[in-house]
A and B are shown apart, each in its own frame.
Chain A
Amino acid sequence: MQDSRAFAPSWSGDADEFVRVEELVKIYDDTVAVQSLSLTVRRGEIFALLGSSGSGKSTLLRMLAGFEEATSGRIYLDNEDITQLPPYRRPVNMMFQSYALFPHMTVEANVAFGLKQEGVAKNEIQERVFEALDLVQMAGFARRKPHQMSGGQQQRVALARSLVKRPKLLLLDEPMSALDKQIRQKTQLELIKILDQVGVTCIMVTHDQEEAMTMADRLAVMSEGQIVQCGTPHDVYTFPNSRFVAGFIGSTNLFTGTIVVDEPDHVQIESPDLTRPLYVSHGVSEPLGMEVHVSIRPEHIRVLREMPADETNWAHGMVGHVAWMGSYARYQVRLDSGMMVEATVPSLALAQADAAGIDDEVFLSWSDDSATVLPS
């Protein structure tokens, strides 16, 4: 509390800022789990921390919950410095990956546990417990023990338990990882609905980019204890700032090449992987002759049987594999250079008589605005 910043946090503009992480560092014995990480989350927002295991996302979440002590840096929640508060004094509740329901208590007792610690009056506890169970449609299970329920039901109870105290910040640790794939999507949408209804600010951790894109208002891609990119799912998907992000959020085709034409409104890049130059309809900050990477999403690549008339943005190759995905098919095409390129084709296009099959010669083509130049 000696730290003057505790009283006068240096807000940077956004009035909706609710959670603010400032230069947070966590060092275990000799490994750096989180390095100088700063982050802001707005009020009422669902924010996803996305990364593979070891990226530091779970450590960050545990520091927000108070289970891990930060080596340095500060965490503010609603203008209050909570960095030093023990977990039982933070207005933060967490839904654990394993749900961590108390196995010896009924559903009702599990949900009531947090309120009892606060010393809430008995009849109010009863009322709020059933309100929370109603919210997740589990009121009929109040007398059950956790082991008498399915994974999905346990998850609902865990959610009710973490919402019943009306926390300022809700933390979700890999909320869907313990569920079957079939019910995941349905549960994701239900969860968003409940969170919207309650209006709670929520930070979730996930390694599943689809989950993050479905649920989050904004997301941060983490790697090696740092945030690589932060933005709305759409922005991060459309304008990845690095090869890492482009590959992590969705799949993509990456070409390495050198800039041969550098104009304010477009660039041309020649890549040894392609016979034709790449034409990108946006300017870049990199100078002429610089080596850069170009990302083209599979859904932006068309698979054609005839040679395009354009000078740029196409390639010749042979179909190596076609994977039928239901609403679309995923083509693997081997270019003349030997590089494998992925393209997705809608099922409707496949129904046409001249749709390309395995070992057919094809031309891949993409529009000027579908390629993104990545600085790193």
Chain B
Amino acid sequence: MKPASWRRLLPTSRSLAILPPFAWMTLFLLIPFLLVLKISFADLEFGVPPYTPLVEIEEQTLSLVLNLRGYALLFTDNLYISTYLNSVKMALLTTLCCILIGYPMAYYIARSRPSVRNILLLAVILPFWTSLLLRVYAWVGILRNDGLLNSFLLWLGVIDAPLEIYRTDLAVYIGLVYAYLPFFILPLYANLVKLDDRLLQAAYDLGARPWRAFLHVTLPLSMPGVIAGAMLVFIPAVGEYVIPEMLGGANTLMMGRVMWTEFFGNADWPMAAAVTCIMVLLLIVPLMVFQYNQAKQFGLLKRGRTHG
């Protein structure tokens, strides 16, 4: 058994395959995050960089100073707490709208003939070919008081005064839903297109009318796609900066804007870092719970297979 024992020390093809993404994540996600975490525990200082070092050696004394000013402020200042809550609320509402609008779209695309399907998919992806900034600017042009929408509605005579949409939360919702809808549609489509037609036929065969077959077969089986899509919308929407900045009013509170202000406006790097760290925590915890549940389900499934 000697050859086997030294062979175990060599990287297997499986671990080699994992290595590149692992290295990528370490280099571009874990290390930057640790840097941000470090900055969040520093104090504000005038200079370059504009924060105090965490570890110092002075007169043969190694001192580690963890400054909690940022975190203390976060949990005492109502502004931050309500910003967090508002960000999560807006992201949740955006996700809900994406589900309501995106599900029928993904369903329709998945059910259409393959030739039509590709054209429809292309239409979903097409906006990505222009920059998000440009597309949000286009929304400014549409939603402004003298913009396309208001001009059109005035011309139709539906309204007599322009609707105040631009620079309100509603405009932010419109922008968010518009920008993130494809991220919901694509994973859900990928799920729905794989749905076995025969399961639906079996449901019809057993007496289920089409809508009941949808409710009891299609919908539950597409839940993984819905959850994946919802995650892809919810997570970036919480930290979104560009859309609330360009479409939102002065009182549209969102995490991204606060971070931007702390970082570039106040040059308060430790504060911005603390805001970021709490936000990451806020997002990671529900995600981990979700992942854990998925893993548990998968584990059960595997055990079931071996028993069967």
| B221 → A minimal CB distance (Å) | 6
| Contacts known (A87-B201, A104-B221); A117 close to B308, Cβ less than 8 A | no
Cβ–Cβ contact A88 & B208, under 8 A: yes
B216 at the binding interface (Cβ < 8 Å): yes
B209-232 CB mask vs A (1 if < 8 Å, else 0) is 100100011001100000000000
Cβ–Cβ contact B196 & A86, under 8 A: no
Cβ–Cβ contact B308 & A104, under 8 A: no
| Contacts known (A102-B199, A102-B217); A88 close to B204, Cβ less than 8 A | yes
B74 at the binding interface (Cβ < 8 Å): no
| Contacts known (A67-B201, A102-B202, A103-B221); A114 close to B308, Cβ less than 8 A | no
Cβ–Cβ contact A93 & B201, under 8 A: no
Q: Which of A42-50, A126-134, A146-154, A360-368 lies at the interface with chain B?
A: A146-154
A293 at the binding interface (Cβ < 8 Å): no
Total inter-chain residue pairs, C-beta < 8 Å = 72
Cβ–Cβ contact B305 & A148, under 8 A: yes
B207 at the binding interface (Cβ < 8 Å): yes
Cβ–Cβ contact B216 & A113, under 8 A: yes
Which residue in chain A gives the minimum CB-CB distance to B199? A100
| Contacts known (A104-B221, A117-B212); A86 close to B304, Cβ less than 8 A | no
Cβ–Cβ contact A113 & B208, under 8 A: yes
Measured between alpha carbons, how far is A194 from B109 in the docked complex, in Å? 43
| A60 → B minimal CB distance (Å) | 16
Inter-chain contacts of A96 with B (CB < 8 A): 198, 201-202
Cβ–Cβ contact A161 & B206, under 8 A: yes
B307 at the binding interface (Cβ < 8 Å): yes
| B301 → A minimal CB distance (Å) | 6
Inter-chain contacts of B220 with A (CB < 8 A): 104
Cβ–Cβ contact A148 & B308, under 8 A: yes
Query: Which of A100, A114, A153 is packed against the most chain B CB atoms within 10 Å?
Result: A100
Which residue in chain A gives the minimum CB-CB distance to B196? A100
Inter-chain contacts of B304 with A (CB < 8 A): 144-145, 147-148
| In the complex, chain A residues 254-276 whose Cβ is within 8 Å of any chain B Cβ | none
A65 at the binding interface (Cβ < 8 Å): yes
Cβ–Cβ contact A93 & B205, under 8 A: yes
| B264 → A minimal CB distance (Å) | 49
| In the complex, chain B residues 168-216 whose Cβ is within 8 Å of any chain A Cβ | 196, 198-199, 201-209, 212, 216
Which residue in chain A gives the minimum CB-CB distance to B210? A88
Inter-chain contacts of A100 with B (CB < 8 A): 196, 198-199, 201-202
Cβ–Cβ contact B208 & A117, under 8 A: yes
A354 at the binding interface (Cβ < 8 Å): no
Inter-chain contacts of A103 with B (CB < 8 A): 199, 221
Inter-chain contacts of A66 with B (CB < 8 A): 204-205
Inter-chain contacts of A117 with B (CB < 8 A): 206-209, 212
Partner of B205, one of A88, A101, A145: A88
Cβ–Cβ contact B301 & A114, under 8 A: no
Inter-chain contacts of A150 with B (CB < 8 A): 308
| B225 → A minimal CB distance (Å) | 13
Inter-chain contacts of A114 with B (CB < 8 A): 206-207
Cβ–Cβ contact A87 & B204, under 8 A: yes
Measured between alpha carbons, how far is A147 from B302 in the docked complex, in Å? 9
Cβ–Cβ contact A118 & B207, under 8 A: yes
Partner of B206, one of A98, A113, A147, A149: A113
Measured between alpha carbons, how far is A255 from B16 in the docked complex, in Å? 65
A134-161 CB mask vs B (1 if < 8 Å, else 0) is 0000000000110111100100000001
A165 at the binding interface (Cβ < 8 Å): yes
A94 at the binding interface (Cβ < 8 Å): yes
Measured between alpha carbons, how far is A94 from B220 in the docked complex, in Å? 23
Measured between alpha carbons, how far is A98 from B196 in the docked complex, in Å? 10
| A56 → B minimal CB distance (Å) | 19
Cβ–Cβ contact A86 & B204, under 8 A: yes
| B226 → A minimal CB distance (Å) | 13
| In the complex, chain B residues 20-45 whose Cβ is within 8 Å of any chain A Cβ | none
| A309 → B minimal CB distance (Å) | 62
A94-118 CB mask vs B (1 if < 8 Å, else 0) is 1010101111100000000110011
| A62 → B minimal CB distance (Å) | 9
Cβ–Cβ contact B207 & A88, under 8 A: yes
| Contacts known (A102-B202, A104-B221, A117-B212); A147 close to B305, Cβ less than 8 A | yes
Cβ–Cβ contact A165 & B206, under 8 A: yes
Inter-chain contacts of A92 with B (CB < 8 A): 205
Measured between alpha carbons, how far is A149 from B201 in the docked complex, in Å? 22
Partner of A165, one of B198, B202, B207: B207
Inter-chain contacts of A148 with B (CB < 8 A): 304-305, 307-308
Measured between alpha carbons, how far is A66 from B208 in the docked complex, in Å? 13
| Contacts known (A86-B204, A102-B217, A113-B208); A147 close to B198, Cβ less than 8 A | no
Measured between alpha carbons, how far is A92 from B301 in the docked complex, in Å? 33
Inter-chain contacts of B198 with A (CB < 8 A): 96, 98, 100
Measured between alpha carbons, how far is A161 from B203 in the docked complex, in Å? 11
| Contacts known (A147-B304, A148-B305); A94 close to B205, Cβ less than 8 A | yes
Inter-chain contacts of B221 with A (CB < 8 A): 103-104
Inter-chain contacts of B209 with A (CB < 8 A): 88, 117
Measured between alpha carbons, how far is A323 from B209 in the docked complex, in Å? 55
| B202 → A minimal CB distance (Å) | 4
| Contacts known (A100-B198, A117-B208); A149 close to B308, Cβ less than 8 A | yes
Inter-chain contacts of A165 with B (CB < 8 A): 206-207
Inter-chain contacts of B301 with A (CB < 8 A): 147
Which residue in chain A gives the minimum CB-CB distance to B223? A104
Measured between alpha carbons, how far is A283 from B216 in the docked complex, in Å? 63
Inter-chain contacts of A93 with B (CB < 8 A): 205-206
Q: Other CB < 8 Å A-B pairs besides A96-B202, A117-B208, A147-B301, 5 of them?
A: A87-B201, A94-B202, A96-B198, A153-B308, A165-B206
10 closest Cβ pairs, A-B complex: A114-B206, A148-B304, A117-B207, A100-B202, A87-B204, A100-B198, A88-B204, A117-B208, A88-B207, A104-B220
Chain B positions within 8 Å of A, measured between CB atoms, are: 196, 198-199, 201-209, 212, 216-217, 220-221, 301, 304-305, 307-308
12 A-B residue pairings within 8 Å (CB atoms): A86-B204, A88-B204, A88-B205, A93-B205, A94-B202, A100-B199, A104-B220, A113-B206, A117-B209, A153-B308, A161-B206, A165-B207
